[in-house]
Amino acid sequence: MVQKKSSPQQGRRGRPRQYDPDSALARAAAAFWKNGYAGTSLDDLAAATGMNRPSLYAAFGDKRDLYLKTLERYQQQSRALSAQLLADSATLREFLTRFYDGALELYRAGEADARGCFSISTAPAQATSDPAVHAFLSESIRGTDAFLADVIGNARDRGEIAASGDPSALAQVATATLHTLAVRSRVGVPRHQLKALAAAAIDLICGTAPRQRPRPAGKRGGNGPPAR
């Protein structure tokens, strides 16, 4: 994917660019991720990407354009990750466990830098003043709900959860779990605690018998549910 973007560089007329657009976008996202949109200056972005301001403008437009592009990139990556995860999972429980595990890895919970979810940590502050950010965040949440509702609906069709369960409502609770993981990761709650939270939510969503058989979850399976 990196090569595909750098190969058309060959045959171009002028001075070759010294940056890779996608990795520059990733570094810009990291800067926004840490300090938010308004808290990140163009100097910060220039330092983070190794580019200078005119190159930034030529490549991505102004600060707002750049931020929106980092949001789009983040969304695309997240969706690709979720889709791939879905293909590898047999049951709803299995998928949701991997889904939250993947989110926590992205959020770096309790690790060196706890950064939380990029969009949930930075977009809400901007959503009231910037219609584009507002629209993005709104659509992003709606998309997550729809995706999870689809997954849960299929699981219900396979009989994995009660036929009386409403996939749409359960999906919103699943998204709620993602949101709380996003915020808690941001303040450095240790990952094993967040895994336990996710496991409890999964038990509630998948219903009835919590953990029917012990699954080989990560390392020592957290501290498990105290009761039951």
Partner DNA sequence: GCTTTTTTGTACTGTCTCGCATAAATTAGC
Partner DNA sequence: GCTAATTTATGCGAGACAGTACAAAAAAGC
Please pick, from the candidates 59, 66, 120, 149, the single residue that binds a second copy as defined by CB under 8 A.
120
Please pick, from the candidates 6, 17, 89, 160, the single residue that binds DNA as defined by CB under 7 A.
17
* Residue 31 near residue 48 (C-beta atoms within 8 A): yes
Tell which phi-psi region holds residue 206, choosing left (phi > 0), alpha (psi between -120 and 50) or beta: alpha
Q: Is 6 in the site for DNA (CB under 7 A)?
A: no
CA angle 159, 97, 27 (to 5 degrees): 135
Q: What string marks each residue from 35 to 64 as x (binds DNA by CB under 7 A) or -?
A: -----xxxx-------xxxxx-xxx--xxx
Any idea what DSSP says for residue 17? P
CA dihedral (138, 142, 147, 152) positive or negative: positive
* Residue 222 near residue 199 (C-beta atoms within 8 A): yes
Please pick, from the candidates 1, 2, 8, 16, the single residue that binds DNA as defined by CB under 7 A.
16
Binding site for DNA (CB under 7 A): 11-19, 40-43, 51-55, 57-59, 62-64
Binding site for a second copy (CB under 8 A): 34-39, 113-116, 120-122, 124-129, 134, 137-138, 141, 164-166, 168-170, 172-173, 175-177, 179-180, 183-184, 186-189, 196-197, 200-201, 204-205, 225-228
